């Protein structure tokens, strides 16, 4: 061991980085205590600098769908790195990645690769405004679409975890054209609306399922108003199913945003649409958007190796794993007399300490604010199971989480539930 401790690194980190971290939730603000600093990770496990091992359900909030450090992905990155890490000229990897995304998603004809989910949503909104000539956008409370100014209003986990209703530094003008509507209710959409952005399964206010018909009715309402429908699939894309939420729900949006899974653990995002809409993007059209590291060869190599492992059998397996986890946790809570719901949509799992599954941000927020989660979180962490350090995140079981690992997790959950 290196002799490093989490306490030491947290203290040093806080002196030179706000909160000691580079993304707010990692600082443990909403659960209290000292974050574990990761030294390495493998399969379903992360190891901290003190040598402690955790069964990991954070999985980088989504990218780790194959588990940590999957050999095929690591080998693809190694090979790509040996050929140079960035060129500023197009590569075969970008063509293959764009072909793979379009082949998987019905209606998706062209994509633009970027370097984060935030960049994808920010650029897709610009494209929607450019393509429609309209300014207004509608988003849903508790849906997170990254941290671009115009999308931060009522933004779910990242913002919610900090106990902030909005965000300092975002001028009123930047959100003047953003309308926030409650999730699971089709809003009034008039002819000033360029785009309605939605998480097809809300996974940044805990896990909140779309009500039956919500997405289909939203599709109809957008079509009638001439507004574009944007599925933010940065979490659901290639996790829910081979063709993402479009396949899962049988509803086709006009615009898609992807991230997380498609980067195989490297920084990546993508937005896409039909040929017609994408013709507005520079150099074809007047909507400018660019990136020094966009389509980065390491990221496309890692993403392609990840997607190559995600066939139909992988999704069946992932859903079985998530079902075992969700059912086992729910049973453990029931046995211990703890009021909790463990919502699941395919391979996506959530957790709320309340009696009924929340349907929107107000109900999710009420459940998250009752103070049970931090105690549960620390009980698990002490026993070697890492959940996200905040009550607004989903759980991310991966293909590396075997039935034995899930059963070990459920036993720990039962143990901790008995102390609540
Ligand atoms: C994570 C996330 C984003 C932002 O992606 P980053 O890569 O963190 O910028 C956008 N939308 C959704 C639904 C997300 O979960």
The one-digit pLDDT tens for each residue of the chain (420 residues) are 568 999 999 999 999 999 999 999 999 999 999 999 999 999 999 999 999 999 999 999 999 999 999 999 999 999 999 999 999 999 999 999 999 999 999 999 999 999 999 999 999 999 999 999 999 999 999 999 999 999 987 666 555 554 444 788 888 888 889 999 999 999 999 999 999 999 999 999 999 999 999 999 999 999 999 999 999 999 999 999 999 999 999 999 999 999 999 999 999 999 999 999 999 999 999 999 999 999 999 999 999 999 999 999 999 999 999 999 999 999 999 999 999 999 999 999 999 999 999 999 999 999 998 999 999 999 999 999 999 999 999 999 999 999 999 999 999 999 999 999
Cα of 257 vs centre of ligand 1, distance in Å, is: 9
Question: Reading across the β-sheet that carries 385-386, which strands appear in turn?
Answer: 38-42, 45-48, 53-56, 385-386
The domain limits of the chain are: 6-69+311-417, 71-308
CATH 3.90.920.10 for domain 71-308: no
**Six token digits for residue 281:** 């993007």
pLDDT of residue 179: 93
Locate the ligand 1 atom nearest the alpha carbon of residue 23 and give its number: 8
Cα of 280 vs centre of ligand 1, distance in Å, is: 24
Q: How far is CA 341 from the centre of its chain?
A: 21
Cα of 234 vs centre of ligand 1, distance in Å, is: 5
Secondary structure of the chain in HEC code, one letter for each residue: CCCCCHHHHHHHHHHHCHHHCCCHHHHCCCCCCCCCCEEEEEECEEEECCCCEEEECCHHHCCCCCCECCHHHHHHHHHHHHCCCCCCCCCHHHHHHHHHHHHHCCCCCEEEEECCHHHHHHHHHHHHHHHHCCCEEEEECCCCCCCCHHHCCCCCHHHHCCCCCCCCCCCHHHHCCEEEECCCCCCCCCCCEEEEEECCCECCCCCECCCCCHHHHHHHHHHHHCCEEEEECCCCCCCCCCCHHHHHHCCCCCEEEECHHHHCCCCCEEEEECHHHHCCECCCCCECCCCCCCCCHHHHHHHHHHHHCCCHHHHHHHHHHHHHHHHHHHHHHHHHCCCCECCEECCEECCECCCCCCCCHHHHHHHHCCCHHHHHHHHHHHCCEECCCCCCCCECCCCCCCHHHHHHHHHHHHHHHCCC
Going by alpha carbons, the residue nearest to atom 6 of ligand 1 is: 117
Going by alpha carbons, the residue nearest to atom 14 of ligand 1 is: 234
pLDDT of residue 153: 74
pLDDT of residue 2: 65
Pocket test for ligand 1, best of 117, 232, 265 (most atoms within 8 A of CB): 117
Locate the ligand 1 atom nearest the alpha carbon of residue 233 and give its number: 13
Whether 139 is catalytic is no
pLDDT of residue 92: 98
Residue ranges lining ligand 1, Cβ < 6 Å: 116-118, 121, 144-146, 199, 204, 232, 234-235, 259, 269
Cα of 143 vs centre of ligand 1, distance in Å, is: 10
Of 139, 260, 271, 360, the catalytic one is: 260
pLDDT of residue 164: 41
pLDDT of residue 157: 57
Of 144, 183, 315, 373, the catalytic one is: 144
Locate the ligand 1 atom nearest the alpha carbon of residue 118 and give its number: 9
Whether 260 is catalytic is yes
- Indicate the pTM of the whole model: 0.96
Whether 144 is catalytic is yes
Out of 2.60.40.680, 3.30.300.30, 1.10.3720.10, 3.90.1150.10, the CATH code matching 6-69+311-417 is 3.90.1150.10
pLDDT of residue 168: 87
Of 48, 56, 232, 254, the catalytic one is: 232
pLDDT of residue 200: 98
């Amino acid at each position: 061991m290196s002799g490093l401790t989490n306490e030491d690194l947290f203290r040093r980190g806080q002196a030179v980085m706000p909160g000691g971290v580079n993304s707010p939730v990692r600082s443990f603000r909403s659960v209290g205590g000292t974050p574990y600093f990761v030294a390495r990770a493998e399969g379903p496990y992360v190891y901290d600098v003190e040598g402690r091992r955790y069964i990991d359900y954070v999985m980088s909030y989504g990218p780790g769908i194959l588990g940590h450090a999957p050999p095929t992905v690591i080998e693809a990155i190694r090979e790509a790195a040996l050929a140079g890490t960035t060129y500023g000229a197009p590569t075969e990897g970008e063509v293959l990645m764009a072909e793979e995304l379009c082949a998987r998603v019905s209606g998706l004809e062209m994509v633009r690769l970027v370097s984060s989910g935030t960049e994808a949503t920010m650029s897709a909104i610009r494209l929607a405004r450019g393509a429609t000539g309209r300014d207004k956008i509608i988003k849903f409370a508790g849906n997170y679409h990254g941290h671009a100014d115009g999308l931060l209003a009522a933004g779910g986990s990242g913002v919610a975890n900090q106990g902030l209703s909005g965000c300092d530094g975002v001028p009123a003008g930047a959100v003047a054209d953003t309308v926030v509507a409650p999730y699971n209710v089709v809003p009034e959409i008039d002819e000033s609306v360029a785009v309605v952005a939605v998480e097809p399964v809300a996974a940044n206010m805990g896990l909140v399922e779309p009500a039956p018909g919500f997405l289909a009715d939203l599709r109809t309402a957008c079509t009638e108003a001439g507004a574009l429908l944007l599925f933010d699939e940065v979490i659901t894309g290639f996790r829910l199913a081979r063709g993402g939420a479009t396949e899962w729900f049988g509803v086709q949006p006009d615009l898609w945003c992807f991230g997380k899974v498609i980067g195989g653990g490297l920084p990546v995002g993508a937005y896409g649409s039909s040929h017609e809409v994408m013709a507005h993007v520079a150099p074809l059209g007047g909507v400018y958007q660019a990136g020094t590291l966009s389509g980065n060869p390491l990221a496309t190599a890692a993403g392609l190796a990840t997607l190559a492992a995600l066939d139909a059998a992988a999704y069946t397996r992932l859903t079985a794993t998530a079902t075992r986890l969700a059912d086992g946790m729910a049973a453990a809570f029931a046995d211990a007399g703890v009021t909790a719901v463990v919502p699941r949509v395919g391979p996506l799992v959530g957790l709320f300490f309340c009696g009924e599954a929340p349907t929107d941000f107000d109900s999710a927020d009420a459940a998250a604010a009752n103070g049970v989660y931090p105690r549960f979180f620390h009980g698990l962490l002490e026993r070697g199971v890492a959940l996200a350090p905040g009550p607004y995140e989903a759980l991310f079981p991966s293909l590396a989480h075997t039935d034995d690992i899930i059963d070990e997790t459920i036993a720990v959950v039962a143990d901790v539930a008995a102390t609540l």
